[in-house]
Amino acid sequence: MTSIFTHEFNTPIYKGKTSFNTGLYIDGKFVEGSDKTTIDVVNPATGNIITKVAEATPKDVDLAVAAAHKAFDTTWGLNMGGAGRSRLLAKLASLMEEHQQELAALEALDNGKTFTWAMDVDTTFAIDTIRYYAGWADKIHGQVQETDEKKLSYTRHEPIGVVGQIIPWNFPLLMMSWKLGPALATGNCIVMKPSEFTPLTAIRMCELIHEAGFPPGTFNLLTGYGHTVGAAISSHMKVDKVAFTGSTLVGRKIMEAAAKSNLKDITLELGGKSPNIIFNDADLDQAVNWAAHGIYWNHGQACCAGSRIFVQSGIYDEFLAKFTEKTASLKVGDPFDLDSYQGPQVSKIQYDRIMDYIQSGKDQGATVHLGGDRHGTEGFYIKPTIFTDTTPDMKIVQEEIFGPVGVVIKFEDEEDVIRQANDTVYGLAAAVFSQNITRALNTAHRLKAGTAWVNCVNQLHANVPFGGFKQSGIGRELGAYALNNYTAVKSVQVNLGHVM
Amino acid sequence: MAHTVKIPVPALNKEISVSTGLFINNEFVPSVDSSEVIQCFNPATEEVIASVVAGSAKDIDVAVAAARTAFKTTWGKNVTGWERSRLMNKLADLIERDAQELAELETLNNGKPVAVARDFDIGDSIQCLRYYAGWADKITGQTIEVDNKSKMAFTRHEPIGVCGQIIPWNYPINMWSWKVAPALAVGCTIVMKPSEITPLTALKLSELVVEAGFPPGVINTVPSLGPVGGAALSAHPDVDKVAFTGSTITGRKIMEAAAKSNLKKVSLELGGKSPQLIFESADLKQAAAWSALGICYNTGQDCTAGSRIYVQDSVYDKFIDILVSTVKETVIGDGFDKSTGGGPLVSKAQFDRVWGYIDAGKAEGAKVVLGGERRNTKGYFVDPTIFTDVNSDMKIVKEEIFGPVLSIGRFKTEEEAVALANNTTYGLGAGLHSTDASQCMRVSGLLEAGTVWVNQYNVLSNNVPFGGKKQSGIGRELGSYALEEYTSIKAVHWNIGEKLQWPLSL
């Protein structure tokens, strides 16, 4: 028997009700896990359990993959034309819009981000992303190549088949939309594992996907642990491709499992330690605001967070003073308070990890310029923190913290700062602030990162590609580029006259 | 005289209301300087059903000014692709909501059967709008490597600006959607001149434009006589592009006016005298069915009507038998009658024109194997007419008739077939029927037409381009290709490192 989770929101910023089935979603039905076990979902604002949801096992992965293949061969894949896929995705986007506040509230409850951010960014961007890919569904073009008049040579961009998608806890619904949109638009069937920390919006989406009319088996959701369900998906002989967003550590395991099993295609969106370079000739006030957004947005839990802030010596003191003032003004509080900017970190594990990094900063001799400890006594709240006086080899400068901890580093020489910025195994994003457009563009072009922001940070759009250089990832999401992740190119060469 | 009329639909015991003013800046207004009206007829009954304001050249000025202001303030580069997409999808939803009533209005004024208008014309139009709504946020330029140390080069695909769009009477709503959708998707504003024969549905759609939420001036609708409004748009100094679907004769005038005024961009979808080739390996029954569709669909009032058929000698007699009996099943009648497959011709002028050709065919010695007899009833009904024993000099073989009149010739060899097919100044569509794949490949390569159908005919898709070779037109509609007709490429060369010495040291 699957369970129904019902919750009444009675908060200053949102009042409403949610009620939905918390089973696994396989072949168009909500079911218990094979072992009939459950996972506790925790509210990070309090540390208390919100509800239990069904737990999937590798056996459930087999069932979901089989259902996905059946759908791919009969009702989905190329059996449903692009216009039809487009209509269903557009319908899903409309349903998400209808339930936007409910989805935002669930996200805030489960993840800890504020309801305001969940409304303004997470849910809005997710809806836009689904709509954007709905528009691509009937525009998957191959090419005709000219060879000679006795031959017709063309390519088909076919769906790959059954794709496994493993998404993280930092932007649960948004990451779901980035994966689901292009995969379904191109005709693939999905077996998705949401993060065990934040499964609620993904589970809620299953009812909307069902209501939109997607045939059973086209989308399947298995809430479970990385080392069981995630591993099973990555090494499954009948999963044709796996897409993962998460830590570089886990990304390696997935790539390894893909290599050892059936050489399935992979795309990875991994970690980052993104530099934000602020030159003397930057618009200082704007740089301060963007820099704060760069590291403190989503409580620092963003893969592209501008966590290393390089400030040129001419403006360093003034920048630091203004940046400190700005950071100190960020209100940490309950996700459902009207004026909260930052809620709790997502889990105890993350909280402990971030606090360990803060401690290491202190131990290794960096200066805690602001913050550096817990906020409040309940839940996983951490004060926005600024470290200064660091050296390049410190852990807080090298490693991804994934919390509201920024490192501010003074620099003088342009060549040297670019070298420092690129001196990382990561390459997800980078930012440069300068009013001299020649300097800004040249710097942006030299930074080894998949996204180089000029006079902005952490701005994303559904139609602009996003992904990592180096150990930050393989492949690109968003834009037309994401379609390549989910299509297999077949060349068809038709002999219409050559005699052998 | 800008008000709403209620048009009675006797067959359905109801009325349809239509605003009869000029639609400019989201309002229905009278002409600024004229009291002329255009009378709209029901071609099944020959009766006037409504009168609408006839736009003058001055009214075109007002509409163009409205479109220009919108382009500079609320549309063009001032609106994002997402917003354009959202509005276009909203408009498509509204048309879907009102599909039945729009279909009935289309039938009243154009004559085609209601079910065809609703399920095909309007169904395709809704899909067309949704298809291009999907493109609106995907208009991408390129970055181009020149010299990494000194230059950032890229292209912007910008909207052309104010577009004059002149559409015909054979598929009023469908032709409206083909023009409006790609133009809106890339950010152009529009002054639309619907056909003076069938302006009513364009006016009705304008009401939905307001309801969807488009800013004033983005789409303007000015019913007008071709030599008045059409000429004014083509020659207007502040119109950046004119797009026209209609006869080749008018297309020439539009291109001339564009050349003489401001060299505005021109795209033209003109006439055709499209051939179908029936080879001996063809499935003859299927070929006959597609041939019947080719000349009878929309009562032959189709730019790609398959109006010439050439049959290989070895299967000639057999094919003619099958074809005649297939075409005989076509029911031409009132569009509100559920058994009707095709309606009347759209107007007296067309009716007289088509009969002129049938009479000429007889006079020039072609043989009538089906039809060719006038009805003695009200309404511009013409029954399908098939001529055989034709030769290439006959008027009925050379000229576009635009009615359900088919000429059939014969050939021995593939070379002869292709030569006969290509022997025309037109080049819009062509069909070939054969089960020999190599022959299909060869012949489709040799046929001089913008669309070649292999083993079918006259089936279009919103995502596949359509347009003419030779004197059938300039440019392509539908598919991603239509976007190019409304985009203007700007190349940006951004110097990021070159310091110039003048005079140059050589």
pTM score of the predicted model: 0.91
User: How high is the mean pLDDT of chain A?
Assistant: 97
Test mutation, B87, B463, B493, B500, chain A, max A CBs within 10 A? B463
Distance from CA of A223 to the nearest CA of B (A): 33
Residue-wise pLDDT tens digits, B94-136: 999 999 999 999 999 999 999 999 999 999 999 999 999 999 9
SS3 state at B118: helix
The answer to whether B441 contacts A128, with C-beta atoms less than 8 Å apart, is no
The reply to whether B135 touches chain A by the CB within 8 Å rule is: yes
Are the Cβ atoms of B137 and A462 closer than 8 angstroms? yes
Q: Are A240 and A162 in contact (CB under 8 A)?
A: yes
The one catalytic residue among B158, B269, B400, B485: B269
Asked if A193 and A217 count as a contact pair (C-beta separation under 8 A), the reply is no
pLDDT recorded at residue A387: 98
Cα–Cα distance, B156 to B154 (Å, whole number): 7
- Please state, in angstroms and rounded to a whole number, the distance separating the CA atoms of residues A201 and B450: 50
Q: Which residue has the tokens 């409580």?
A: A299
Residue A128: list chain B partners with CB under 8 A. 82
Q: Which residues of B touch A86 (CB under 8 A)?
A: 130, 134
pLDDT of residue B2: 59
Report d(CA B313, CA B321) in Å as an integer: 14
Percentages (nearest 5) of helix, strand, coil residues in chain B = 40, 20, 35
CA distance A281 to B1: 63
Q: Phi first, then psi: what are they for B470, rounded to 5°? A: 50, -135
Taking CB atoms and an 8 Å limit, are B441 and A83 in contact across chains?
no
Out of B135, B440, B495, closest to residue A135 by CB? B135
In order, the DSSP letters of B259-321 are HHTT--EEEEE-----EEEE-TTS-HHHHHHHHHHHHHGGGG--TT---EEEEEGGGHHHHHH
Q: Mean pLDDT in each 10-residue stretch from start to end of chain A (500 residues)?
A: 94 96 98 97 97 98 98 95 96 98 98 98 98 97 90 94 98 98 98 98 98 98 98 97 96 95 95 98 97 97 97 98 98 96 97 98 98 96 98 97 98 96 97 96 96 96 95 95 95 88
Identify whether the C-beta of residue A274 lies closer than 8 Å to the C-beta of residue A426: yes
**Local structure of residue A215 (DSSP, 8 states):** P
- The C-alpha torsion from B281 through B285 and B286 to B287, rounded to 10°, is 60
Q: Helix H segments across A311-347?
A: 313-328
Coil/strand/helix, residue B505: coil
Taking an 8 Å cut-off on Cβ atoms, the answer to whether B438 and A86 are in contact is: no
Whether the CB of B480 is below 8 Å from some CB of chain A: the reply is: yes
Q: A494 and B441 in contact by Cβ < 8 A?
A: yes
From A134's Cα to the closest Cα of chain B, the distance in A is 7
Question: Hey, what are A77's tokens?
Answer: 């894949």
Q: How confident is the model at residue B240 (pLDDT cuts 50, 70, 90)?
A: very high
Q: Please choose, from the candidates B258, B342, B260, the residue with its C-alpha nearest in 3D space to the C-alpha of residue B300.
A: B342
User: Which tokens belong to A407?
Assistant: 């490192």
Pairing of β A189-193 and β A162-166: parallel
Q: What is the reported pLDDT for A382?
A: 98
| The two structure tokens encoding residue B210 | 């307001």
Dump pLDDT digits (tens) for B276-332.
999 999 999 999 999 999 999 999 999 999 999 999 999 999 999 999 999 999 999
Which residues does chain A have within 8 Å of residue B496's beta carbon, measured at their own beta carbons?
437-438, 441-442
User: Please, which residues 79-108 of chain B have a Cβ atom closer than 8 Å to chain A?
Assistant: 81-82, 85, 89
Q: How far is A442 from chain B (nearest CA, A)?
A: 7
Chain B hits for A90, CB-CB cut-off 8 Å, are 89, 130
| Contact at CB, A497 and B442, closer than 8 angstroms | yes
Residue to mutate among B131, B184, B460, with most A CBs inside 10 A, is B131
Cross-chain CB nearest to B138 (options A83, A135, A149): A135
Q: Which residues of A touch B137 (CB under 8 A)?
A: 132, 135, 462-463
Non-local (6+) Cβ contacts of A488 within 8 A are A157, A158, A159, A160
Q: In this predicted structure, what is the pLDDT of residue A220?
A: 98
Q: Does B133 touch chain A (CB under 8 A)?
A: yes
Can you read off the two tokens belonging to residue B143? 């970055």
Q: Which residues of A touch B135 (CB under 8 A)?
A: 135, 139
- The two tokens of residue A474 are 């393989």
pLDDT score recorded for residue A500: 87
**Which positions in chain A touch B440 (Cβ < 8 Å)?**
496
A135 CA to chain B: closest CA distance, Å?
Answer: 4
Contact A221, A31 (CB under 8 A): no
Is B400 an annotated catalytic residue? Answer: no
Active-site entry in A102, A158, A269, A400: A269
Q: Give the tens place of pLDDT for each residue, B334-375.
A: 999 999 999 999 999 999 999 999 999 999 999 999 999 999
Q: Contact, A114 vs A342, CB < 8 A?
A: yes
Contact list, A83 vs chain B (CB under 8 Å): 127, 130-131
| Residues of chain B contacting residue A445, judged by C-beta atoms under 8 Å apart | 148
Contact between A277 and A429 under an 8 Å Cβ cutoff? The reply is: no
Residue range B415-452, pLDDT digits in tens? 999 999 999 999 999 999 999 999 999 999 999 999 99
pLDDT at B459 > cutoff 70: yes
Question: Does B131 sit within 8 Å of A138, measured CB to CB?
Answer: yes
Nearest residue of A to residue B134 by CA position?
A135
A residues 441-500 near B, CB within 8 Å?
Answer: 441-442, 445, 462-463, 480, 494, 496-497
Q: Are B264 and B235 in contact (CB under 8 A)?
A: no
Average pLDDT over residues B261-270: 96
Whether the predicted interface score ipTM is above 0.90: no
> Under a CB-based contact definition with an 8 Å cutoff, are residues B42 and B344 in contact?
no
Give B499's contacts (C-beta < 8 A, 6+ positions apart). none
Is the confidence at residue B148, as pLDDT, over 90? no
> Comparing C-alpha atoms, which of A231, A263, A222 is closest to residue A250?
A231
Q: Which of A154, A157, A414, A442 is the best mutation test for B, with the most CBs of B within 10 A?
A: A442
Q: Residue A494: list chain B partners with CB under 8 A.
A: 437, 441
Residue B176 and residue B124: Cα distance in Å, rounded?
Answer: 11
Question: How many angstroms away from the CA of B140 is the closest CA of chain A?
Answer: 9
| Region B36-43 average pLDDT | 98
- Decide if B226 contacts B245 (C-beta within 8 A): no
Range 427-446 of B in CB contact (< 8 A) with A: 437-438, 440-442, 445
DSSP string, B26-89: TEEE--SS---EEEEEETTTTEEEEEEEPP-HHHHHHHHHHHHHHHHHTSGGGS-HHHHHHHHH
| A residues 420-439 closer than 8 Å to B (CB) | 437-438
pLDDT value of residue A485? 95
Kindly report the CA angle at B487 between A124 and A131, in degrees rounded to 5? 20
In this prediction, residue B1 has a pLDDT band, given cuts at 50, 70 and 90, of: very low
